[in-house]
């Protein structure tokens, strides 16, 4: 039985990481995730774990590279502008095949943007984010409970695939206080980390280990193509095995809403309102934003469903849905321009989504 | 005869108290009896006759809410 | 004419400097903050040397960003830490303008360290003004490079531990060691005398730029009542008793020529 707490999503991230035996946190202040760095500043020293406030997001991600190279579970946390700053090293970590967890509590953009919520980093997170061809697993919590649970899943998946995993939250989920059962989740065993750097004396065979992000320059792979083949294989494995989504009333629905994070909760409410009026709608809530449920959506398109994407952006998830339906279905969008007020505090609200549902019918 | 006059822009004032602290003649006081729309307690010049127009209250005001005037009078010729 | 037959005249001897804009929506800084006082000193200095129309401000993210609404000069808002880079470019394009930055201690000495070193080693003829409030202000008071040993911040809740996080950085002294620096000084606004001195330091820094000597730097110890969790007048005391012993005031370098 876990410990029951009334905490905000950002704080739940900390508890989740601690339960996953994360040993190191590197971070830099940026709104709206300062509660995360402050939690780690308070709690990690008490647990004898590593906490460093870095000099910038570049410092955070490069320290994470270093820690991950030693094989320990480590993470950083940032918000959208900091996430942008980190991309070169994330690309490096994908090449070097380093397990790591990066939390991005999305805020508005582009640019410095408002410090409040938005969902505009979807394309960047799900396409790797940096240069070169790789993918991050992207987990999208829609509650403080999921912040705690998906963090634990993130560390497991990072180790399983030796790949970066992004936990893509937003300022609303981060700052919303809810009841959370903080419980340690056990996953299966993870591969050995014999590749990690820890001093030759600490290796059974006494031979040196190298962590580098070229791939073939030091013999890790016999050729550049061999590296790419491994990355391709990894991408396929992650797609086949790690898809997670929630099907809410979508079984017999003719209009399917697609959403993640805070807008998924809004969409759920709109589905309830619509069902009460006899309109058969349902929601596919992305729990992994990558892998994306292409097949699930394609099947629904074949059955004649229409789609309504609800996302707090100018249209990013909608591109994946359009791709998945392969031209067979209508795809609509309720986006950031449909917020209830034009200031940065505006939100997409259920009544707006319901209006669109009625319009599409 | 006044030597100096202090005019405080009450809309800009934030009640920080620097003018009270730095006036060398203790001319200004935050009595707690008035506040502006933003809720800041406003200062009052309670000893206008003591003002020497040194200008220090104006320099130290973060909101640049104070104007200090030197007042002089001369006989009409 | 008053009742005694005398003419009363009033002459304003202190008020809002020309280049400081009156905020119509209410004043945006925290009560007692020394950032707008720095803006005042900058405005007065620019006015004295007559360069208000030929000045470009380069302001970092953070509380400094509000200067775009406060100072009546051309200005650029930069990504965090990058003002020395932008200022370098702007000065190369407009060498006849005064180009100056305003940055926090976190923005200059942490994320801004590589732009700072670049500008110093290239001896860019820009002016950097660093506001030292010993915390990251805008994000709620986390430890900064200049936080004092033992200082409680939101990321050092037990106090800054020197065995884990080292010691406060001294920007003015460090910058004075670079050949490309023409001027380096540290001021404060905790007393009227210090206000006048610091205003002179800022004016001198601008004059170094006009004389094309090298990079000029002024560090200003700034009250931050909101993040220090003190009242404005208590903050002045903290500056006097805690900050000034650690960060002495004065000019650390002042050369007329670099060769």
DSSP line for A276-297? HTT--EEEEEESEEES--HHHH
Domain boundaries, chain B: 2-72
Ranges of chain C whose pLDDT falls below 70: 1-4
Which 8-state DSSP code applies to residue C34?
S
Q: Tell which wins on pLDDT, A4 or A1.
A: A4
DSSP line for A59-109? HHHHHHHHHHHTT--EEEEEEHHHHHHTHHHHHHHHHHT--EEEEEEE---
Contacting residues for B59 by C-beta, under 8 A, at least 6 apart: C14, C40, C192, C195, C196
Place of tokens 């830490």: C81
Contact at CB, C27 and B16, closer than 8 angstroms: no
DSSP line for A208-268? -----SSSSTTSSSSSHHHHHHHHHHHHHHHHHH---EEEES-TT-SEEEEE-THHHHHHH
Q: Among A27, A48, A56, A81, which would you mutate to test the C interface (most chain C Cβ atoms within 10 Å of its Cβ)?
A: A56
Return left, alpha or beta for C193; rule: phi > 0 is left, psi -120 to 50 is alpha, else beta. alpha
Contact at CB, B21 and C236, closer than 8 angstroms: yes
Contact C104, C64 (CB under 8 A): yes
Rounded CA separation C61/C81 (Å) = 8
For the stretch A6-26, pLDDT in tens is: 999 999 999 999 999 999 999
Place of tokens 């304003």: C12
Least CB-CB distance to B38: which of C26, C34, C189?
A: C26
Residue of C nearest to B71 (CA): C10
Rounded CA separation A151/C174 (Å) = 42
Contact A94, A166 (CB under 8 A): no
Contact C208, C218 (CB under 8 A): no
Rounded CA separation A288/A157 (Å) = 12
Contact A107, A82 (CB under 8 A): no
Supply B6's token pair.
């202090």
As a whole number, mean pLDDT of residues A252-280 equals: 97
- How large is the ipTM? 0.92
Rounded CA separation A89/A69 (Å) = 13
DSSP line for B16-62? --HHHHH-TT--EE--SS-B-TT-PBPPEES-GGG-----HHHHH-T
Q: What is the pLDDT of residue B46?
A: 95
For the stretch B10-52, pLDDT in tens is: 999 999 999 999 999 999 999 999 999 999 999 999 999 999 9
Q: What is the pLDDT of residue C27?
A: 81
Give helix then strand counts, H and E, for chain A: 13, 14
- Which positions 109-168 of A are in contact with C (Cβ < 8 Å)? 112
As a whole number, mean pLDDT of residues A126-132 equals: 94
Rounded CA separation B12/C20 (Å) = 13
**Contact exists between A and B (3 or more beta carbon pairs < 8 Å):** no
Q: What is the pLDDT of residue B1?
A: 65
Neighbours of A, requiring at least 3 CB pairs below 8 Å, are C
Least CB-CB distance to A55: which of C111, C155, C164?
A: C111
Rounded mean pLDDT of chain A? Answer: 95
Is residue A34 predicted with pLDDT exceeding 70? yes
Contacting residues for A235 by C-beta, under 8 A, at least 6 apart: A134, A135
Supply C232's token pair.
């404005």
- Which positions 220-259 of C are in contact with B (Cβ < 8 Å)? 225, 231-233, 236
Contact B43, B22 (CB under 8 A): no
For the stretch A230-252, pLDDT in tens is: 999 999 999 999 999 999 999 99
Residue of C nearest to B21 (CA): C233
Cα B32 to Cα B42, B50, C190: the distances in Å are 7, 21, 24
Q: What is the pLDDT of residue C3?
A: 60
Residue of B nearest to C70 (CA): B63
Contacting residues for C174 by C-beta, under 8 A, at least 6 apart: none
Multiple choice CATH, B2-72, 3.30.70.20, 3.30.379.10, 3.40.50.2300, 1.10.3720.10: 3.30.70.20
Q: Among C1, C15, C131, which would you mutate to test the B interface (most chain B Cβ atoms within 10 Å of its Cβ)?
A: C15
Least CB-CB distance to C155: which of A31, A53, A112?
A: A53
Contact at CB, B62 and C7, closer than 8 angstroms: no
Contact at CB, C155 and A57, closer than 8 angstroms: no
Q: Which residues of A142-164 are buried (b: 16+ CB within 10 A; e: fewer)?
A: bbbbbbbbbbbbbbbbbbbbbbb
Q: What is the pLDDT of residue A219?
A: 84
Contact at CB, C77 and A42, closer than 8 angstroms: no
Confidence tier at A217 by pLDDT (50, 70, 90): confident
Length of chain B: 77
Contact C77, A112 (CB under 8 A): yes
Q: What is the pLDDT of residue A2?
A: 75
Cα A28 to Cα A11, A60, C70, C80, C106: the distances in Å are 16, 7, 28, 12, 10
Cα C9 to Cα A46, B2, B51, B73: the distances in Å are 68, 11, 16, 6
Torsion, Cα A46 A51 A55 A59, to 10 degrees, reads 180
For the stretch A36-92, pLDDT in tens is: 999 999 999 999 999 999 989 998 999 999 899 999 999 999 999 999 999 999 999
Radius of gyration of chain B, Cα coordinates, nearest whole angstrom: 13
Q: What is the pLDDT of residue C6?
A: 79
Alpha-carbon torsion (A41, A45, A49, A51), positive or negative: positive
Does the beta carbon of C29 lie under 8 angstroms from any beta carbon of chain B?
yes
Residue of C nearest to B24 (CA): C192
* Chain B residue numbers touching C22 (CB-CB < 8 A): 9, 12, 64
For the stretch A289-329, pLDDT in tens is: 999 999 999 999 999 999 999 999 999 999 999 999 999 99
Angle of helix A34-46 relative to helix A9-19, nearest 10 degrees? 30
Is residue A355 predicted with pLDDT exceeding 80? yes
């Amino acid at each position: 039985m876990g410990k029951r707490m009334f905490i905000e999503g950002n704080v739940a991230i900390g508890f989740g990481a601690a339960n996953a035996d994360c040993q190191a946190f590197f971070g830099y202040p940026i709104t709206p995730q300062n509660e995360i760095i402050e939690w780690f500043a308070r709690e990690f020293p008490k647990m004898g774990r590593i906490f460093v406030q870095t000099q910038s997001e570049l410092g955070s991600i490069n320290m994470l590279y270093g820690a991950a190279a030693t094989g320990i579970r480590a993470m950083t946390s940032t918000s959208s502008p900091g996430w942008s700053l980190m991309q070169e090293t994330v690309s490096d970590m994908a090449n070097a095949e380093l397990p790591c967890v990066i939390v991005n509590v999305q805020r508005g953009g582009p640019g410095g943007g408002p410090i409040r919520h938005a969902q505009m980093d979807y394309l960047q997170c799900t396409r790797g984010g940096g240069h070169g061809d790789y993918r991050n697993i992207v987990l999208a919590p829609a509650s403080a409970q999921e912040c705690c649970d998906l963090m634990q899943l993130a560390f497991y998946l990072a180790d399983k695939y030796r790949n970066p995993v992004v936990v893509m939250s937003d300022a609303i989920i981060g700052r919303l206080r809810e009841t959370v059962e903080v419980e340690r989740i056990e996953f299966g065993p993870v591969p050995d980390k014999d590749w990690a750097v820890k001093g030759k004396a600490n290796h059974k065979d006494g031979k040196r280990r190298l962590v580098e992000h070229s791939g073939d320059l030091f013999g890790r792979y016999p050729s550049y193509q061999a590296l790419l083949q491994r990355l391709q294989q990894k991408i396929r494995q992650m797609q086949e095995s790690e898809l997670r989504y929630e099907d809410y009333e979508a079984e017999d629905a003719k209009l399917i809403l697609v959403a993640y994070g805070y807008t998924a909760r809004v969409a759920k409410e709109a589905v309830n309102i619509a069902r009460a009026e006899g309109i058969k709608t349902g929601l596919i809530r992305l729990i992994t934003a990558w892998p994306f449920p292409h097949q699930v959506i394609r099947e629904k398109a074949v059955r004649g469903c229409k789609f309504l994407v609800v996302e707090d952006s100018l249209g990013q998830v909608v591109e994946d849905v359009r791709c998945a339906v392969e031209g067979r279905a209508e795809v609509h969008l309720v986006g950031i321009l449909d917020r209830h007020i034009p200031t940065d505090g505006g939100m997409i609200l259920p009544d707006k989504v319901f209006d669109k549902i009625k319009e599409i019918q | 005869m006044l030597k100096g006059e202090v005019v405080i822009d009450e809309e800009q004032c934030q009640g920080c108290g620097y003018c009270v602290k730095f006036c060398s003649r203790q001319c200004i006081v935050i009595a707690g009896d008035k506040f502006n729309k933003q809720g800041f307690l406003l200062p009052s010049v309670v000893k206008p006759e003591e003002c020497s127009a040194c200008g220090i209250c104006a320099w130290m005001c973060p909101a640049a809410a104070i104007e200090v005037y030197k007042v002089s009078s001369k006989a009409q010729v | 004419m008053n009742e005694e037959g005398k003419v009363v005249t009033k002459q304003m001897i202190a008020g809002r400097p020309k280049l400081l804009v009156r905020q119509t929506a209410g004043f945006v800084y925290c009560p007692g903050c020394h950032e707008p006082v720095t803006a005042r000193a900058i405005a007065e200095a620019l006015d004295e040397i007559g360069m208000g129309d030929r000045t470009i401000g380069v302001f970092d993210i953070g509380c400094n960003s509000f200067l775009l609404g406060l100072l009546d000069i051309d200005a650029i808002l930069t990504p965090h830490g990058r003002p020395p880079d932008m200022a370098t470019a702007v000065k190369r394009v407009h060498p006849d303008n005064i180009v100056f930055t305003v940055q926090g201690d976190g923005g200059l000495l942490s994320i801004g360290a590589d732009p700072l070193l670049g500008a110093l080693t290239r001896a860019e003829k820009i002016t950097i003004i660093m506001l030292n409030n010993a915390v990251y202000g805008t994000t709620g008071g986390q430890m900064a490079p200049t936080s004092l040993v033992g200082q409680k911040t939101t990321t050092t809740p037990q106090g800054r531990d020197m065995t884990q996080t080292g010691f406060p950085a001294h920007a003015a002294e460090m910058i004075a060691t670079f050949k490309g620096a023409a001027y380096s000084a540290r001021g404060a606004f905790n007393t009227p005398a210090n206000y006048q001195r610091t205003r002179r330091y800022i004016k001198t820094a601008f004059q170094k730029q006009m004389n094309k000597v090298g990079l000029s730097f002024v560090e200003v110890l700034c009250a931050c009542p909101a993040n220090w969790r003190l009242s404005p007048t208590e903050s002045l005391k903290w500056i006097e008793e805690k900050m000034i012993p650690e960060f002495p005031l004065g000019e650390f370098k002042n050369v007329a020529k670099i060769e």
